[in-house]
Chains A and B, each alone.
Chain A
């Protein structure tokens, strides 16, 4: 298997007033292409912090983040934006769709940032919307979609540019269990069919059950790392 990303001795401290919070205390791991990984652990264990650092949304206090063997931990803001634009897809807990854009336009948004041609954009967006089961709903606005449908749009948006890594921060937290299961099945299916690498942060047993690898965090350190 090919290593897609790795983190080495990752430390992240936050200053909260005069107190220093040690969110991550020397995390080292690597993720291979095509893995369907859950980062689990109780609240405050450092799951979201780890995802933020992997997703280049934040910079570590120390340690390194390698994406495709490139050390991005010393990148400036613009370089980090470029990495996110090209290499990483995000699925958020609250979907975070742009309300004034249709499903089609929301999914097309990352392609616009990559300056894809209109023809390519149309082809890719229609394809991915079909893949996530939203064919025929291209022109609906987020307010006209259910929570599950909105999360499908968000997944399509994360996948449309075919990024190496898709990071999902508690993707089922705002969905009922039935819809959550459907979304997970969809992501698993896309993981297999497109060889997309998914990394979730979660404490939902249903997500953990479906993951092919579970990294457990506790107090900012990896307490277990299990491949199924």
Chain B
């Protein structure tokens, strides 16, 4: 068998150009697979992080009716809020978590100076509590965060740009109160934030909770309470809180995890990811076709030689293994170089990241803006490596079986 292996290794270099092309196909296939896998996994985990940090928190508590309307119809019904939320906060905080009450409402923001008007979701936030749950303080681009009681507004960079609003500009929030009366709130832009969550960056603005409470006639109610868990076990916390609400006769409230809040975009992301993997699979198929071609040519161009080797006493099994080793060895060396390429591509992703700004202001389904970093996924390397060795080895069986089925005398006559 040692001779068969040595012979197979020598044969790899018989047709140098063809072998190099096959190596390249395998290497680029593996490199692209590792790169895309890292990018997609990185984008997914970054999206989840951005969703939790700027949008959903780990958990949120809603009035059931409010949540149902929001999910089914997209309406934010202020009259279906959470009353007496401060007591509820205490109940939740007993689980050693951070809480942040919010009033979320639909509005139109008007910049009278330029005559521009756009729909926004405006959120009333408690400046002190909010920073324990959400990460707006980390992304202040200019100006400052909100202070309680001021008629100020904090906007995302993209939203502000669309409104052509800068620091100190006065905007008007047009909305309806809890009692469905029209309300216009005049606010000054005190800060611009640049959250990496595109939804928030484009179409969410923040005002102080107490200002929202008064101007929307909320009378001490809020629309949601965001919760940041201390530990990673959000599912257990969700379960505990649901039981707690039930036992405290607060069954009109419900707790929703980030997975539930984000189920639509998570499904979309998974679909997109599956689509991307299909694309990767196509890359592998192209590489496999290259390997098939190399191995078919390799066998069919050597029919006479195979006949001679069989005439000299090489048995069918040895011929078969010689080509399996040859195919496997092409795959092995291609895989080594491919893994090396994958390491280089992936290192770039991990240390520099991929700039999703490349796609401009287009919604690509991920909760990402700017750069997302890649991840090391040993599983992807292992899969690509083994695939690249096993497939060429298996592919080699077909043509070599065909060659050994041929009569030796016929093979020897083949030019």
Contact = CB atoms under 8 A, between A and B. Distances in A.
A110 B312 contact: yes
B308 interface: yes
A57 B314 contact: no
Interface string A203-226: 000000000000000000000000
Contacts of A82: 313, 315
A101 B308 CA distance: 14
A81 B308 contact: no
A113 B14 contact: no
B311 interface: yes
Contacts of B315: 77-78, 81-82, 85
B409 A58 contact: yes
B314 A81 contact: yes
A109 B407 contact: no
A55 interface: yes
B132 interface: no
Contacts of A85: 312-315
Contact of A55 (B7, B14, B311, B407): B311
A87 B316 CA distance: 18
15 contacts: A57-B311, A57-B408, A58-B409, A81-B313, A81-B314, A85-B314, A96-B308, A98-B308, A100-B11, A100-B13, A100-B14, A101-B10, A110-B312, A112-B7, A113-B318
Nearest to B412: A92
A100 B7 CA distance: 9
A86 interface: yes
Pick from B304, B312, B315, B407 the residue with the most CB of A within 10 Å: B312
A84 B13 CA distance: 29
Interface in A50-71: 52, 55, 57-58
A99 interface: yes
Contacts of B304: 94, 96
A94 B411 CA distance: 13
Nearest to B4: A112
Contacts of A58: 407-409
B316 A96 contact: no
Nearest to A115: B3
B272 interface: no
A52 B307 CA distance: 12
Contacts of A88: 313
B310 interface: yes
Interface string B297-315: 0000000110011111111
A75 to B, nearest CB: 12
Nearest to A105: B10
A82 B314 CA distance: 8
A86 B313 CA distance: 8
A48 B409 CA distance: 10
Contacts of B7: 112
Nearest to B311: A90
Contacts of B10: 100-101
Given A58-B408, A92-B308, 10 more contacts: A55-B311, A57-B311, A57-B409, A77-B316, A81-B313, A85-B313, A94-B304, A96-B304, A96-B412, A100-B10
A157 B316 CA distance: 20
Contacts of A100: 10-11, 13-14
Contacts of B312: 84-85, 90, 109-110, 113, 157
A113 B3 contact: yes
B15 to A, nearest CB: 10
Contacts of B409: 48, 52, 57-58
A82 B317 CA distance: 12
B408 A110 contact: no
Contacts of B309: 98, 109
A98 B318 CA distance: 16
Nearest to B302: A98
Nearest to A108: B3
Given A90-B312, A110-B312, A110-B313, A96 B305 contact: yes
Contacts of A77: 315-316
Contacts of B14: 99-100
Pick from B304, B313, B314 the residue with the most CB of A within 10 Å: B313
Pick from B309, B316, B408 the residue with the most CB of A within 10 Å: B408
A199 B407 CA distance: 22
Give the 8 A-B CB pairs with smallest separation, nearest first: A85-B313, A112-B3, A81-B315, A96-B308, A84-B313, A57-B408, A100-B14, A113-B313
Nearest to A52: B409
A157 B311 CA distance: 12
Interface in A106-143: 109-110, 112-115
B233 to A, nearest CB: 62
B182 to A, nearest CB: 87
A90 B412 CA distance: 12
Contacts of A92: 308, 412
A115 B2 CA distance: 9
A67 B256 CA distance: 87
A48 B311 CA distance: 14
B302 to A, nearest CB: 9
A109 B407 CA distance: 21
Interface string B394-414: 000000000000011100100
A101 B10 CA distance: 8
A64 to B, nearest CB: 19
B401 to A, nearest CB: 13
B78 to A, nearest CB: 82
Interface in B331-377: none
A157 B312 CA distance: 9
Contacts of B3: 112-113, 115
